[in-house]
Amino acid sequence: MREITFSQATLEAMDEEMTRDETVFVMGEDIARQGGIFGQFKGLPAKFGSDRVKDTPITETAIVGACVGAALAGMRPIADMHFADFVGVCMDEIFNQMAKIHYMFGGQKTVPMVLRAPDGLINQAAAQHSQSLESWFMHVPGLKVVIPSNPADAKGLLKSAIRDDNPVIYFEHKSLFSRKGPVPEEEYFTPIGKAKVVTEGSDVTLVSYSLCFNHALEAAQMLGKEGISVECVDLRTISPIDKDTILESVAKTSRLVIAHEAVKQGGVGAEISAIVAEEGIDYLDAPIVRVGAPFTPVPFAKPLEMAYRVTPQKIADAIRKMF
């Protein structure tokens, strides 16, 4: 199987879906002239033209609002946010329009659109360009939220998101764009709403997603050398969340750790903890452990940024304390 980067994998997904379906188009800042800030749209303007790869003014409100309107008119738009941090500018369009129209119209209209949101901490991008905001959108009915950890799922989830008749927010960690991994050459889809047990274990369940799932795998390898068997579950989708896979794993291991780069308070880990407490408390032989960022904006200073980061070592240390 060939290896390509996360960015190339998403580019392939876009190319394939735009070739297959003329109603698919993309709007955003600097995507036609620049090819996207992380190169994830390179080549698409030359192939599909300015009608389907549209550069926009710096106004996220207009980008998302126009895409909602286009989706209602029968198109399948993809809105690019440049940085996920900018979703705050267009929140009304996201949670009051994009998420609710299908319900408020009694199912008569759908909003088949994707919002691509590059998120996560990169070196010294500081408080307004480094955030992980995915838990905001778990709280909004009507939205699906996907968040891949590797190139194969990046392509498969994006293709599934584009074909879905519901609005999908597609978070993609900026540090993953340059990472390579195996990606099938034949067409495939990664199902939305289905987690994956990537490594099986017997002592503890470790749930994570996005870049942090790669840290979880490293932590599991460290602990394996110490005799602690870790089962790693990649969520891939955080809304709808695959509680069945999580509960089945916890029933097997009797311990649960959730790790994510986002702030721990009110994060995805809190929701998973609540699910297991409500539906699987009898499985547990130890308290649930969450690993996340401290409750502070992302710092700019390098030493503070390093202290803020969730690392494989921090995940491993949290698990060791359970034993």
What is the distance between the alpha carbons of residues 257 and 272, in angstroms, rounded to a whole number?
Answer: 10
Q: What is the pLDDT of residue 145?
A: 98
Q: What is the pLDDT of residue 32?
A: 84
Nearest to 284 by CA among 275, 271, 296: 275
Question: Is residue 188 situated within a structural domain?
Answer: no
Phi then psi for 234, rounded to 5 degrees? Answer: -95, 115
Nearest to 224 by CA among 244, 194, 203: 203
Q: CATH no. for residue 249?
A: 3.40.50.920
Judge if 172 and 261 occupy the same domain.
no
Question: Is residue 209 situated within a structural domain?
Answer: yes
Q: What is the pLDDT of residue 111?
A: 97
CA 225 to mean position of chain CA atoms: 30
Q: What is the pLDDT of residue 282?
A: 97
Q: What is the pLDDT of residue 38?
A: 81
Judge if 178 and 200 occupy the same domain.
no
Tokens of 132: 């992980």
Judge if 214 and 171 occupy the same domain.
no
Judge if 153 and 12 occupy the same domain.
yes
Q: How many domains does the chain have?
A: 2
Task: Kindly report the number of other CB atoms within 10 A of residue 30's CB atom.
Answer: 15
Nearest to 257 by CA among 171, 195, 316: 316
Residue at a domain's end among 132, 160, 182: 182
Q: CATH no. for residue 17?
A: 3.40.50.970
Task: Kindly report the number of other CB atoms within 10 A of residue 258's CB atom.
Answer: 30
Q: What is the pLDDT of residue 40?
A: 86
The single residue of 129, 173, 215, 260 carrying the catalytic annotation is 129
Judge if 129 and 10 occupy the same domain.
yes
Judge if 275 and 314 occupy the same domain.
yes
Question: Is residue 263 situated within a structural domain?
Answer: yes
pLDDT tens digits for range 28-84? 998 988 888 788 898 999 999 989 999 999 999 999 999 999 999 999 999 999 999
Question: Is residue 190 situated within a structural domain?
Answer: no
Judge if 165 and 215 occupy the same domain.
no
Judge if 78 and 222 occupy the same domain.
no
Judge if 212 and 127 occupy the same domain.
no
Judge if 47 and 97 occupy the same domain.
yes
Nearest to 36 by CA among 87, 77, 81: 81
Q: What is the pLDDT of residue 98?
A: 97
Residue at a domain's end among 120, 153, 182: 182
Note whether 283 and 250 are within 8 A (CB).
Answer: yes
Q: What is the pLDDT of residue 35?
A: 81
Question: Is residue 247 situated within a structural domain?
Answer: yes
pLDDT tens digits for range 143-155? 999 999 999 999 9
Judge if 174 and 208 occupy the same domain.
no
Residue at a domain's end among 137, 154, 182: 182
Question: Is residue 124 situated within a structural domain?
Answer: yes
What is the distance between the alpha carbons of residues 85 and 317, in angstroms, rounded to a whole number?
Answer: 30
C-alpha dihedral over 60, 66, 69, 70, to 10 degrees? Answer: -120
Q: Give me the count of residues in the chain.
A: 323
Residue numbers of the domain that contains 160: 3-182
Q: What is the pLDDT of residue 1?
A: 81
Tokens of 200: 């099986």
Judge if 145 and 72 occupy the same domain.
yes
Note whether 230 and 203 are within 8 A (CB).
Answer: yes
Task: Kindly list the distances between the CA atom of residue 71 and the CA atoms of 97, 168, 212, in Å, as whole numbers in the listed order.
Answer: 11, 12, 33
Q: Is 129 a catalytic residue?
A: yes
Question: Is residue 224 situated within a structural domain?
Answer: yes
Mean pLDDT by runs of 10 across the 323 residues of the chain is 94 97 95 82 91 94 97 97 93 96 95 97 90 96 98 98 98 96 97 98 98 98 98 98 98 98 97 98 97 96 94 98 94
What is the distance between the alpha carbons of residues 117 and 130, in angstroms, rounded to a whole number?
Answer: 12
What is the distance between the alpha carbons of residues 179 and 167, in angstroms, rounded to a whole number?
Answer: 27
